[in-house]
Amino acid sequence: MDYKIPRGTYDILPAQSHKWQKLISVFRELAAVWGYAEISTPIFEQANLFERSSGESSDVVKKEMYRFTDQKGRILALRPEGTAPVVRSYIENHLDIGSPTTKLYYLGPMFRYDRPQAGRYRQFYQYGIEFIGSDHPYYDAEVIAILWNYLWQLGIRNMRLELNSVGCPSCSLSYEKALQDYFRPHLNELCPDCQTRFDQKPRRLLDCKVPACKAIAAKAPLQLDHLDEPCHKHFEQVQNYLNLMKTPYIINPRIVRGLDYYTNTAFEVIYESLGAQNSLAGGGRYNGLIEQLGGKSIPAIGFAGGFERLLLALEQEQVPVAEAPVPDIYLIALGEQAQQYILPYLNELRCKGLYVEYAPDKVSFKAQLKAANQSQARHALIIGEDEVNSNRFVIKDLASGEQHSLPLRSTEDIIRAVRQPSPDVPL
Ligand code: HAM
């Protein structure tokens, strides 16, 4: 074939789509019970929204952003993540008016130009939560608990929640100086990217994948040892709340998030056996972002995760996410008269929410019964000449093989027979 799907993307085929629907519906239900409402933003935004928020030196902006110019010369980008668009919308639509706190969730595709591999795509689908409006450490725990509960509820067990604090801008300054003091004697041994990062964003030196840089970074000073008093206290309180909410975590002082907007709490859920792309989800506080993007100084915290990695993890846990739906009824109509007799009921059954399959192009009884069995339908509704003449229908339980002939006065007769078969005239 001449046309191929773009590299790093995939189709969600019908055999898989019910699994996606399940992940989405469980997320929506969970978000609702915690009081979060859905927000949907466009899949493209002004490119500088991401440059400003994620950081010019971040990989997401420097290497991975799908940037394009539209017919009027506007520089736009396919969104690489959801937080900056949500904040843009929050400011633009004055969502802070009326209530001091805003609880939002979103679902949708994100785009990053990266080398595709298992669990890493160029178009991937994120679920995310953003809580805006309070710096109270309870909310850090709330957001983390939602993520943990979601993954747990779906059946993920072999995961761990890693927690860190990246401090506030003032304690970051002293930490970045400590990092520069540590890396300065090693500058010549670092990769060219890290040499640039040294001046621009020394924290990014901790995130380099080049083995030589990684080895040096392993002994670098830790942010946790450079937290000022308020940041230290916040971090302790978050842990207390997590303990109270029975959300298990471990402290990993080496978590470096790939985006620049984080302050204080940073976290990731790791699923080790996913290999290189083992981060199921991640997030943190971003107390400075709203002001940075032109809004008021309002604190916030959130997370996002990718459905692709989640499905891979569920596969490894051998969790059957969701079964494909099977028909309640498979209609077998023998001949034109039978078809005319039963079709008005068929439409009504579907209007009343029953999943009914019917294939008029299969003529013989044998072919239709075979198709009914293949569809894994629970019941076959069989109409032949006798049924038409006596105003009845035959309902066959396809698992047990048991069947009954019943009078047909309205669709309710069929519905009753399917929901709780009542023997009338056993055949
Ligand atoms: P992130 O860590 O860049 O954070 O991405 C969150 C999750 O998205 C990852 O843990 C992973 O599951 C998934 N993900 C990222 N890139 C890819 C990819 N190329 N292919 C497949 N899955 C991927 C954020 O995006 C932040 N906006 C999270 C956040 C919300 N922070 C605060 N609020």
Query: Ligand 1 pocket by C-beta < 6 Å: which residues?
Result: 81-83, 112, 114, 119-121, 124, 126, 128, 130, 258-259, 279-284, 286, 302-306, 308-309
Measure the CA–CA gap between 219 and 252, rounded to whole angstroms: 14
Measure the CA–CA gap between 395 and 326, rounded to whole angstroms: 17
Least confident of 1-5, 31-35, 303-307, 420-424: 420-424
Ligand 1 pocket: which of 111, 279, 310 to mutate (most atoms <8 Å of CB)?
279
Measure the CA–CA gap between 245 and 231, rounded to whole angstroms: 21
DSSP category for residue 316: H
Residue nearest atom 16 of ligand 1, based on CA coordinates? 120
Q: What's the 258 CA to ligand 1 centre distance in angstroms?
A: 9
- Residue 420: what pLDDT? 67
Q: Give me the mean pLDDT over the 197-201 stretch.
A: 87
Q: What's the 306 CA to ligand 1 centre distance in angstroms?
A: 6
**Residue 201 above 80 pLDDT?**
yes
Model confidence band, residue 113 (pLDDT cutoffs 50, 70, 90): very high
- Residue 197: what pLDDT? 86
The mean of the pLDDT values for the chain is: 94
Query: Rounded to whole angstroms, what are the CA distances from 138 to 74, 235, 377?
Result: 41, 11, 49
Dihedral through CA 274, CA 279, CA 281, CA 282, nearest 10? 170
- Residue 231: what pLDDT? 97
Q: What's the 236 CA to ligand 1 centre distance in angstroms?
A: 26
Percent with pLDDT over 70 in the chain: 98
**Residue 103 above 90 pLDDT?**
yes
Residue nearest atom 17 of ligand 1, based on CA coordinates? 120
**Residue 427 above 60 pLDDT?**
no
pLDDT of 140-194, one tens digit each?
999 999 999 999 999 999 999 999 999 999 998 899 999 999 999 999 999 998 9
Structure tokens at 414: 């069929």
Tally the residues of the chain. 427
Q: Give me the mean pLDDT over the 274-289 stretch.
A: 95
Q: What's the 309 CA to ligand 1 centre distance in angstroms?
A: 10
**Residue 405 above 60 pLDDT?**
yes
Contact predicate 227/235, CB 8 Å = yes
Which atom of ligand 1 is least distant from the CA of 302?
33
Residue nearest atom 25 of ligand 1, based on CA coordinates? 81
pLDDT of 14-34, one tens digit each?
999 999 999 999 999 999 999
**What is the three-class DSSP state of 343?**
helix
Model confidence band, residue 362 (pLDDT cutoffs 50, 70, 90): confident
Q: Give me the mean pLDDT over the 284-301 stretch.
A: 97
Residue nearest atom 23 of ligand 1, based on CA coordinates? 306
Q: What's the 305 CA to ligand 1 centre distance in angstroms?
A: 5
**Residue 204 above 90 pLDDT?**
no
pTM reported for the whole predicted model: 0.93
Percent with pLDDT over 90 in the chain: 88
- Residue 59: what pLDDT? 86
